[in-house]
Amino acid sequence: MQPEVHVLGISLKTFGIAFALAFVAIGLLIARRLRELGKPTEWAYEMTLASLVGGLVGSRLYFIVQNYDSVKHDLLGNLFSGSGLVWYGGLLGGAIAVVAWARWRGLLNLGLLDLAATPLALGYAIGRVGCQVSGDGDYGKVWHGPWAMAYPHGTVPTTHTVHPTPIYETVAMGLVAIVLWRLRDRLRPGLLFALYLVLSGTERLLVEFIRRNHHVVDGLTAPQLESIALMAIGGAWLAVAATRGGWGARLAPAS
């Protein structure tokens, strides 16, 4: 594990490095897609910045709500802390900020959701690399299998061997990103995002069974309940589309 690296006397958090690389990758991917769609590529930087700011704010607020009893003594300090970034809070905050940006740019339509689908999957996959390298506690339950790992020098250390769930998630969401990218021109507007909801929700639902999060309802964790909700929304969306003309993109009539 390497929670920090030192460059020219400056200490850099490896999670922060992975976080930054994720947004660089997202920006480049969005720029390429905007170019394919004939839109200004500089919009990619605006959209990425909006998602970054909104995601950070949403992630911190979500963390504080989830852990209010342990942080209520210092709400302001915890609000601006660099630790405790919650994915679903970041997703919600980033979505609100991007919607506001899209309304300003006149891009508020189903195509915006599809534009975000692959970058969201890719950003998550890269972000989990940061979790793995920094050992920030997102690993799984105690396990003694062939690729079990301990995190004795992590930010949240453990000497027990556990499931390296950040690696599982990086691989799974990396594959999801590849699938979504290959389907970007093959589905009707909105359906790529619906498929993202189903696939990403399924991934998180399954990995939570071997992670260490607390159960909240019927043996399920809070992220699992949120994942089920996203899967239900995406699945219903796809089902309705299947009964109303299918999933395939409609080709423009020949002139």
Q: Quick one: pLDDT at residue 11?
A: 84
Residue 66 domain-assigned (yes or no) = no
| 3 close to 153: Cβ distance less than 8 angstroms | yes
Q: Quick one: pLDDT at residue 15?
A: 84
Q: Quick one: pLDDT at residue 240?
A: 97
Q: Quick one: pLDDT at residue 252?
A: 44
Q: Quick one: pLDDT at residue 3?
A: 84
Residue 62 domain-assigned (yes or no) = no
Q: Quick one: pLDDT at residue 162?
A: 97
215 forms beta bridges with 221
| Entry pTM | 0.86
Residue 88 domain-assigned (yes or no) = no
Residue 135 domain-assigned (yes or no) = yes
Residue 228 domain-assigned (yes or no) = yes
Long-range contacts of the stretch 24-33 (C-beta < 8 A, 24+): 25/119, 25/122, 25/123, 25/126, 26/51, 26/119, 26/122, 26/123, 29/118, 29/119, 29/122, 29/181, 30/115, 30/119, 33/115, 33/118, 33/184
Range(s) of the domain holding residue 140: 4-39+107-243
Residue 73 domain-assigned (yes or no) = no
Low pLDDT (below 70) residues in the chain = 64, 66-88, 250-255
Rounded Cα gap, residues 115 and 192, in angstroms: 9
Residue in the block written with tokens 């999957």: 121
Q: Quick one: pLDDT at residue 77?
A: 52
Q: Quick one: pLDDT at residue 251?
A: 47
Domain count, the chain: 1
Rounded Cα gap, residues 174 and 122, in angstroms: 6
Residue 72 domain-assigned (yes or no) = no
Helix (H) or strand (E) holding 106: none
pLDDT tens sequence across 209-248: 999 888 989 999 989 999 999 999 999 999 999 999 889 8
Q: What is the DSSP pairing of strand 149-151 with strand 10-13?
A: unpaired
